[in-house]
């Protein structure tokens, strides 16, 4: 299986810590991405989920960070615009930026005088005025009193106004605080950046202006230049911008990205029209970046043509690789990486072989291995959890012990916690000693009382947990790594006992067993196909329980082909009576078919069933068949052949007939006889009763 021999993965060397060395099966795509990044070309990565698109970009980002010797750091500042506050100035400063720290002396705020001060001032003013007015004529005294009264009244009004409203020169609306004039550092880039952004989050991708409920005017509101949020498109300046999940990218966002690619700069404005930030717009901010986007194959239809034309490289990642020893070694490298990176238990050689077999099943062929490695990673992690051997009761007990420890930590001070804990420990040891011995013997073959007979090294080796083949098979058989597979398993579990399928029964006319695959992740099932021929003045073919246009066209083809074979009389079958096809009405039923049928893999089975009913010759019941027919009677390849073979095994059929071109895909042929077929004629002697065959 592998070029190196081992018992467990513990014996294998550590994987490379570099991400670039951990990418498996995508060498061609990786070379193109590296070339695109080096030459500052934009790229689009397309492929199935889990083939390594994000990991590839992350690995490239790791490389460019280490090769940033020619990169010049920069800082992006936001400054106020005194002439037009709603249009703040954003400036990019090359090189190392040092913020100038200015010591601002706090200005003394003038407070209104107190009432006592006013009274003292009034008494002093009255005394001085009385002294100065001694000896003056009465007419002048009255004029002076009137003038002083007016001045005193005006002064009192001003003092009262200041006292009530607290209005001072420093708090007037036209005053600007020195702190509001200070530039704000929006972003400081010290190495070549790799910025990842989601296509659906417009604010983080393009930037925004925060909302200010006070209108953004000093002294109460926040100045506009302090409310600017840089987008990932600006933070990726002189680096890489990676946009994932392009299917969720709105058309207007694509227009902004297209503008940034063309102009290499983009202004920021408020995204919410109901916010105070909607009136704020900056000057164009530099954003000269290399764009890398990724998505699934059908996501490319969501991209607008002008943006798609701007992307230089369109790279399709592979989802399968050839099943060679070199690639199996790469898959083994992936297993070691997952164990090391996720701190899992070691895996045995047999379990590693089973992972390779699962990779074949997911690829759908014996000579291919899947590159949807995220699914394999999930299976390895789940197998590790099963290897831990903890059931629901054990988990509940562990959680209860943790809760008891937390409660004991909150006991009153006068309770001796250490003493209480030791008592509880002794009681637990006494009550669970037998249980512990039993569990340890089941896991390691050593009880707690026998540990004294072994050395510490031997005990450690015996007690070590390994991920074995049974743990991997447990994950696969339960289907917990896939929702659709669990649904299919549940369907079979609920309806299989009700299906009237009797393998290896006596031969029957018009009854044959076809094979199908349920769910996108693949689980096989057997379908009973029944054909009845009725005399009628309006001949035709009627389909029962058939969904999907492809299936209907295929069954119509099978009906026409079977009529052709019967009318020509070239089949190696003996018919007891002549058949008038112009008066026959054909009914085809997929009996107890509760799932959707939309493929053409039952064409061969339907054709044989119709021929059996027309000629009234029974079919053997010890086989199941799958295959698609063309107009010449050739049997064409179908999908899901391994799942269909497994279904025939589970139902107990002795034989299964598949297209010859699918033999290269068969992974496990044990437990059933697999018959490859190229044409319909060569199947007929195998499926009809020998007594019905012509002597020649």
Mean pLDDT across the chain: 81
Sequence-distant (≥ 6) Cβ neighbours of residue 100 within 8 angstroms: none
Q: Residue 182 has what pLDDT? A: 86
Query: Residue 358 in contact with residue 446, Cβ under 8 Å?
Result: no
pLDDT band at 118 (very low <50, low <70, confident <90, very high): low
Question: Which residues are CB-neighbours of 424 under 8 A, at least 6 positions away?
Answer: 404
Rounded to whole angstroms, the Cα distance separating 378 from 401 reads 29
Are 20 and 26 a contacting pair, CB within 8 Å? no
pLDDT at 408: 55
pLDDT band at 394 (very low <50, low <70, confident <90, very high): low
Helix (H) or strand (E) holding 590: strand 584-591
Half-sphere exposure of 643 (CA within 13 A, CB side): 24
The residues pairing with 292 across neighbouring beta strands, listed in sequence order, are 43, 242
The pLDDT of residue 555: 73
pLDDT on residue 328: 94
How confident is the model over 160-201, as pLDDT tens digits? 666 655 544 444 444 566 677 889 999 999 888 999 998 888
Q: 52: burial class by Cβ within 10 Å (0-12, 13-18, 19+)? A: buried
Rounded average pLDDT over 479-483: 83
CB 219 within 8 Å of CB 171: yes
Residues, the chain: 696
Rounded Cα distance between 279 and 273, Å, is 8
- 3-state class of 132 per DSSP? helix
Longest dimension (CA), the chain: 162
- What is the CB-side half-sphere exposure of residue 321 using CA atoms within 13 A? 20
C-alpha to C-alpha distance for 334 and 327, rounded to whole angstroms: 10
H or E element, residue 361 = helix 349-363
Task: List the beta bridge partners of residue 420.
Answer: none
Residue 152 scores a pLDDT above 90 = no
Cβ atoms within 10 Å of 641's Cβ, excluding its own: 29
CA neighbor of 590 nearest in space, from 636, 555, 627 = 555
Contacts of 253 (CB under 8 A, 6+ apart): 199, 202, 205, 206
For a pLDDT cut of 90, what percent of the chain falls above it?
36
Percent of residues in the chain assigned helix, strand, coil, to nearest 5: 45, 20, 35
Peptide bond into 219 cis (omega under 30): yes
> If you average pLDDT over residues 433-446, what whole number do you get?
53
- Angle between the N-to-C axes of helices 373-387 and 469-478, in degrees from 0 to 180, rounded to the nearest 10: 120
Lowest mean pLDDT among 8-17, 210-219, 313-322, 598-607: 210-219
| Over residues 618-627, mean pLDDT | 93
State yes or no: pLDDT of 18 exceeds 60.
yes
What is the model's pTM?
Answer: 0.73
CA atoms within 13 A on the CB side of 370: 21
Cα first-last separation, the chain: 48
Q: Alpha carbon of 110 to those of 116, 218, 660: distances in Å? A: 17, 20, 99
Residue positions annotated with a catalytic role = 601, 644
pLDDT at 600: 75
Residue 573, beta-bridge partner list: 693
Cβ-proximal residues to 436 (8 Å cutoff; 6+ apart), any chain? 448
* Beta strands 313-316; 43-46: pairing state: parallel
Q: Which two tokens stand for residue 518?
A: 């349920």
Residue keyed to tokens 């059933």: 672
For range 494-498, the mean pLDDT: 78
């Amino acid at each position: 299986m592998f070029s190196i021999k081992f018992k467990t993965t513990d014996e294998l060397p550590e994987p490379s810590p570099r991400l670039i060395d951990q990418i498996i099966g995508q060498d061609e795509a990786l070379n193109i991405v590296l070339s695109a990044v080096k030459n500052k070309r934009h790229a689009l990565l397309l492929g199935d989920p889990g083939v390594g698109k994000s990991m590839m970009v992350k690995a490239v980002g790791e490389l460019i960070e280490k090769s940033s010797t020619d990169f010049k750091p920069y800082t992006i500042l936001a400054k106020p615009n005194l002439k037009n506050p709603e249009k703040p100035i954003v400036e990019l400063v090359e090189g190392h930026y040092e913020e100038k720290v200015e010591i601002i002396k706090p200005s003394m705020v003038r407070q209104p005088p107190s009432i006592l001060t006013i009274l003292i001032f009034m008494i002093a003013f009255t005394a001085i005025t009385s002294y100065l007015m001694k000896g003056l004529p009465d007419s002048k005294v009255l004029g002076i009193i009137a003038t002083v009264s007016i001045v005193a009244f005006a002064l009192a009004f001003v003092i009262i106004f200041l006292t009530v409203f607290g209005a001072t020169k420093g708090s007037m609306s036209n005053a600007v605080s020195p702190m509001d004039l200070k530039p704000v550092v929006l972003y400081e880039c010290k190495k070549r950046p790799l910025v990842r952004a989601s296509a659906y989050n417009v604010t983080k991708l393009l930037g925004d202006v925060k909302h200010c409920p006070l209108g953004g005017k000093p002294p109460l509101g926040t100045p506009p230049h302090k409310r600017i949020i840089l987008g990932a498109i600006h933070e990726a300046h002189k680096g890489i911008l990676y946009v994932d999940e392009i299917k969720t990218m709105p058309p207007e966002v694509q227009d902004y990205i297209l503008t940034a690619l063309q102009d290499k700069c983009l202004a920021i404005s408020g995204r919410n029209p109901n916010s105070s930030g909607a009136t704020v717009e900056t000057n164009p901010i530099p954003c000269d970046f290399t764009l890398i986007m990724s998505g699934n194959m059908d996501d490319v239809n969501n991209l607008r043509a002008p943006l798609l034309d701007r992307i230089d490289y369109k790279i399709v990642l592979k989802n399968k690789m050839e099943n060679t020893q070199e690639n199996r070694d790469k898959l083994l490298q992936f297993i070691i990486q997952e164990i090391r990176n996720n701190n899992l238990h070691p895996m045995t050689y047999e379990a590693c072989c089973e992972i390779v077999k699962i990779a074949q099943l997911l690829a759908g062929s014996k000579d291919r291995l899947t590159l949807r490695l995220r699914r394999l990673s999930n299976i390895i992690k789940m197998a590790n959890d099963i290897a831990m051997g903890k059931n629901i009761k054990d988990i509940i007990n562990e959680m209860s012990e943790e809760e008891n420890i937390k409660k004991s930590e909150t006991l009153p001070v006068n309770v001796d916690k250490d003493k209480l804990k030791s008592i509880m420990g002794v009681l637990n040891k006494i009550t669970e000693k037998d249980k512990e011995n039993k569990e340890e013997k089941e896991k390691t073959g050593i009880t707690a009382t026998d540990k004294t007979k072994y050395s510490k090294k031997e005990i450690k080796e015996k007690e070590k947990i390994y991920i074995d083949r049974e743990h991997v098979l447990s994950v696969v058989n339960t289907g917990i790594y896939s929702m659709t597979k669990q649904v299919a398993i549940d369907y079979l579990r609920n309806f299989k006992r009700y299906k009237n399928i009797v393998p290896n029964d006596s031969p029957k006319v018009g009854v044959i067993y076809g094979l199908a695959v349920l769910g996108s992740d693949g689980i096989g099932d057997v379908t009973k196909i029944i054909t009845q021929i009725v005399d009628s003045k309006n001949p035709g073919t009627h389909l029962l329980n058939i969904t999907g246009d492809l299936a209907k066209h295929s069954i119509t083809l099978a009906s026409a082909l079977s009529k052709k074979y019967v009318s020509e009389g070239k089949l190696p079958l003996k018919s007891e009576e002549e058949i008038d096809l112009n008066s026959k009405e054909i009914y085809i039923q997929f009996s107890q078919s509760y799932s959707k049928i939309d493929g053409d893999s039952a064409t061969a089975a339907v054709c044989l069933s119709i021929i059996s009913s027309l000629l009234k010759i029974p079919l053997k019941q010890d086989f199941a068949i799958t295959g698609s027919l063309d107009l010449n009677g050739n049997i064409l390849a179908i999908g899901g052949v391994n799942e269909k073979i497994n279904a025939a095994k589970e139902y107990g059929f002795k034989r299964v007939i598949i297209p010859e071109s699918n033999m290269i895909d068969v992974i496990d042929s044990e437990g059933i006889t697999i018959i490859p077929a190229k044409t319909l004629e060569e199947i007929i002697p195998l499926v009809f009763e020998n007594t019905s065959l012509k002597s020649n």
